Each structure stands twice: as C-alpha cells, then as structure tokens.
Amino acid sequence: MRKGAFHFILGLFCCVACKPEYSNHCNPKENALKERVNFKVGVAVDHDLLGFDLAYEELVQSQFNSLSPENAMKASYIHPASDQFDWYLADRLVNFAENHGMRFHGHTLIWHQQLPEWIENFAGDREQWRALLEQHIKTIVNRYKGRVAAWDVVNEAFVEDGSLRNSIWYQHLGASYIRLAFEYAHEADPDALLFYNDYNLAQNPLKRKAVIRYLEEMKLAGVPIDGIGCQFHINIHFPEVSDLNKCMEEVCQAGFKLHISELDIALNPFSRSMPQPKEADLKRQADRYLAVFKAFDRQPNLLKYGITMWGLSDADSWIPSYFNREDYPLLFDGNYQAKAAYCKLIESL
Ligand code: XIL
C-alpha cells in the first residue's frame, strides 16, 4: 500500500475510534474552571474514588476550589451506632481539601434519608430525640470546627406543596427540629456558615416561596442561618432559564447567601434508551451550563457562595444508578475528557 493511502486509512480509523483530541483551549490539563470565575466552584466527591484514582484526584484539584462529600458525612456513614462515630471517610476528604487549598462544604447534618438503622428504629421520647439531634450535630460540627467552612444543616425539609415534610425528625420533634438544628450547629462552630438545602426550588415556585418565607421568619427571630442551597438537579429541557434566574434572584433578594449546591444537567429525563449522548443534546447541555454560571455571576458578590457540581464525570454521577437510566449529566465524560459543556464554560466565562 502507498504511504499516502495508509495515512488516509489511519486518519479515517482515528476519526471513528480514537478518543477525541481536545484543542488546548478546553483541554482540562491546560485549563482550570476555577480560574475562570470570581466565585468558588465545587464538586461533590465520591469517597471510593478520591484516594484511589489518581486521574480523578488530579481533575478534582485542578478544576475546583471547593469540595462537598457526596455521601461520607451522611448519618449512615458517619454515625453508624448511637455511641459510635466513624470519621475515616470524612477525615480523608477534609484532609484532601486542606492539602489542596480547597474550601470544604459539609453535607449534610439533618436529612430524612441515608439514616443508620439505629436512628430509624430509635424509640426515645421527645427529649431523647432532641438529645440525639444535639449530640449528632454538635459532635460532627465540633470535630471539623475551623476546617469545614459551611454546613448543609437541614436538607429537604419541605415537600412540593410548600408544607413541611413529615420526616422522622418532624414526627418526633415537630417543626422545632429545624430551628434546633441551626442553633446546635452554630453553638458548635460559630464561624461556620449555615445553609438550608433543597431541590426543585427553581422548578416549583410554590415550594421556593414557602421555603424562603419560612427561613426569612426564622432569621428574623434570630436563628443563625446564612444561606440557601438550591440543588439544581435539572435537565436540558426543564426548567426554563428564566425560572433558574428567578430562583437565584429571590434567594438573594431575601438576603441569603446562594449556593447552587448539587448542579447536574441531565440529558435523558424521560428514561429512553441512550447508549450514546446525542451531539445536539450535548450542545444544549453546554448552553444550559453557561446560562447557570452567567446567571449566578450576576448575583451580588457578597451573596455568591458558589456553584457545586454533583459529581465529577458521567461515570460517577448518581443519576444513572439512582434513576436506573443511561444519562450524561456532568462536565467530563467517563474517561475524564472534557465535554462540550466544559469547553463552553472555559471559552465563554
Ligand atoms: C445522593 C448521592 O449522590 C448518591 O450517591 C446516594 O446514593 C443518594 O444520595 N439530594 C441530596 C444528595 O441532597 O445528598 C443526594 O446525593 C442527591 C439528592
């Protein structure tokens, strides 16, 4: 075969089979998302990857300057028995953040999910539940005092109609558990910023308004609450960018610090078969990521706590396993290569 023909065939083969070669303008090895913006960009990390996968760690620390534990600080992991705390996983993540000069965002103290069995089955009276709540919060916050910058103190306490969720905490302590949780966290570390965190706040104005009103009243009554985490598990179709904007604006207008705390933009909300992402969807996803970053950047500087991605790559996103579908919601693909969304942010921010 002539040399020219050989190269032509090799070229054709590479177009189809080789990993995409990203030009330097968006090659993560030559760029850093965290340097493109004047606020913190974070990522929720998987404790099974951080510490075990060097490429994962390299990408985490080169692109982000804030870190959230995806699971390691949830009650089932960190407080497995009433008289036993297991710090191993959380310590590793906090140490990693410290060693790389990253802010650490604690997630999450009080939630109705991922509870250990001993809490699910706890048979105490109201006073014993209060004591449990206090011990849980104070022990954890105290251990990381001065090292964890902020906590999601209460997660997902509201339901879609704007009323309080009938969670295990609510059942045993009534609405007062929310106030108590913030007070105990503040007593343990007066310097930590304290957040309320929830989902569907952009999608559902009824829920958003109820949450903001409730937290405003608590704040007026002197409860130490600094900010609101809007999770932003969104997709390429829904909600409208104008609703994302509205959500951010209303949180800031109420004087709360704003955290886009769990950002991912799914491609496949209707659970179709999707062995590969479509080009057009990846472009739409890129536009949506840019819209979120730009809208966030327009908020008052003092209230911009940051944007946190809920996972690093499509291979470690919670969405495919949790919702049992193929999906590609994050900035990097399963080989830690930049997707169109990452390139768009690097090019346009
Ligand atoms: C998810 C984790 O990503 C999964 O690994 C875990 O199995 C379930 O929880 N809202 C939250 C996060 O506040 O803690 C959840 O994280 C996603 C929804």
Domain ranges of the chain: 5-348
* 190 Cα to the center of ligand 1, angstroms: 27
Ligand 1 atom 13 nearest Cα: 155
- Cα–Cα distance, 196 to 194 (Å, whole number): 7
**For the segment 285-302, what is each residue's pLDDT rounded down to a tens digit?**
999 999 999 999 999 999
Residues 6+ away with beta carbon under 8 Å from 240: none
Mutational test site, ligand 1, from 93, 114, 200, 322, max ligand atoms within 8 Å of CB: 322
What are the CA-CA distances from residue 13 to residues 121, 163, 317 (Å)?
A: 59, 58, 30
**For the segment 13-54, what is each residue's pLDDT rounded down to a tens digit?**
444 444 555 677 899 999 999 999 999 999 999 999 999 999
- Cα–Cα distance, 310 to 323 (Å, whole number): 15
- Cα–Cα distance, 296 to 289 (Å, whole number): 11
- For the domain bounded by 5-348, which CATH number is listed? 3.20.20.80
CA 103 to chain centre: 14
CA 183 to chain centre: 23
Atom of ligand 1 nearest to the CA of 155: 13
**For the segment 308-329, what is each residue's pLDDT rounded down to a tens digit?**
999 999 999 999 999 999 999 9
* 70 Cα to the center of ligand 1, angstroms: 7
**For the segment 120-172, what is each residue's pLDDT rounded down to a tens digit?**
999 999 999 999 999 999 999 999 999 999 999 999 999 999 999 999 999 99
Write down the number of H helices and E strands in the chain: 13, 9
* 344 Cα to the center of ligand 1, angstroms: 27
Residues 6+ away with beta carbon under 8 Å from 58: none
Residue 93 has pLDDT above 60, yes or no: yes
User: Do residues 313 and 328 make contact, with C-beta atoms less than 8 angstroms apart?
Assistant: no
* 5 Cα to the center of ligand 1, angstroms: 52
Atom of ligand 1 nearest to the CA of 156: 13
> What's the confidence (pLDDT) of residue 12?
45
- Cα–Cα distance, 286 to 142 (Å, whole number): 40
Q: What is the mean pLDDT of the chain?
A: 95
Instruction: Assign 316 to helix, strand or coil.
Output: coil
Residues 63-74, buried b or exposed e (16+ Cβ, 10 A)? bbbbbbbbbbbb
CA 136 to chain centre: 22
Mutational test site, ligand 1, from 89, 262, 308, 316, max ligand atoms within 8 Å of CB: 262
> What's the confidence (pLDDT) of residue 20?
56
Atom of ligand 1 nearest to the CA of 111: 13
The residues lining ligand 1, judged by C-beta closer than 6 Å to any ligand atom, are 70-71, 155, 231, 262, 318, 322
Q: Which sequence positions are flagged as catalytic?
A: 156, 262
* 66 Cα to the center of ligand 1, angstroms: 18
Residues 6+ away with beta carbon under 8 Å from 188: 137, 138, 141, 142, 145
How many other CB atoms are there within 10 angstroms of residue 189's CB atom? 23
